[in-house]
């Protein structure tokens, strides 16, 4: 079975500081991995995704994530936090091949940016 854990349900950073949101997954097959952002009362927006190839993936709004198979991790980073980055962030993994339609979401991490 596929699963996703996100360490830290809430993360606070100062404006301009490094953002690091952690994601670990379990998967019996090579996974597709995603990071989504959700602003209050809105749907989800895709930040970036990893499918195959280069393990360092760059996304929108200055975010990037690195797929580390040995650590089963896909942590999200941004060098310098902006006030507009405050939101809920979800890491997600595509399900196993026999049911590849299913995207399984982690519990989410709420990011606060302190001025």
Partner 1 sequence: GAVVSQHPSRVICKSGTSVKIECRSLDFQATTMFWYRQFPKQSLMLMATSNEGSKATYEQGVEKDKFLINHASLTLSTLTVTSAHPEDSSFYICSARQGFGTDTQYFGPGTRLTVL
In the block, residue with structure tokens 């979800």: 90
Tell me the three-class secondary structure of 52-98, residue by residue.
Answer: CCCCEEECHHHCEEEEEHHHCEEEEEECCCCHHHCEEEEEEEECCHH
Among 2, 13, 23, 36, binds partner 1 (CB under 8 A): 36
3-class state of residue 83 by DSSP: helix
Among 44, 62, 66, 72, binds partner 1 (CB under 8 A): 44
Among 5, 24, 32, 64, binds partner 1 (CB under 8 A): 32
Q: Are strands 56-58 and 109-114 parallel, antiparallel or unpaired?
A: unpaired
Q: How many residues bind partner 1 (CB under 8 A)?
A: 20
Q: Does 108 bind partner 1 (CB under 8 A)?
A: yes
What minimum distance in Å lies between the beta carbon of 25 and partner 1? 14
**CA–CA distance, 61 with 31 (Å, rounded to integer):** 24
**CA–CA distance, 18 with 41 (Å, rounded to integer):** 26
Q: Does 101 bind partner 1 (CB under 8 A)?
A: yes
- Partnered with residue 96 across adjacent β-strands are none
Q: Does 7 bind partner 1 (CB under 8 A)?
A: no
What minimum distance in Å lies between the beta carbon of 34 and partner 1? 8
What minimum distance in Å lies between the beta carbon of 102 and partner 1? 6
Residue 7 or 44: the one with the smaller Cβ distance to partner 1 is 44
């Amino acid at each position: 079975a596929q699963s996703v854990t996100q360490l830290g349900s809430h993360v606070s950073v100062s404006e301009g500081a490094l953002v690091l949101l952690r994601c670990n997954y379990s998967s019996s097959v090579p996974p597709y991995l995603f990071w989504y952002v959700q602003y209050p009362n809105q749907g989800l927006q895709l930040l970036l995704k990893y499918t195959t190839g280069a393990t360092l993936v760059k996304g929108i709004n200055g975010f990037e994530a690195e797929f580390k198979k040995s650590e089963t991790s896909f942590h999200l980073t941004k060098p310098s936090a902006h006030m507009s980055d405050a939101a809920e962030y979800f890491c997600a993994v595509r399900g196993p091949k026999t049911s590849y339609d299913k995207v399984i979401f982690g519990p989410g991490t709420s990011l606060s940016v302190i001025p």
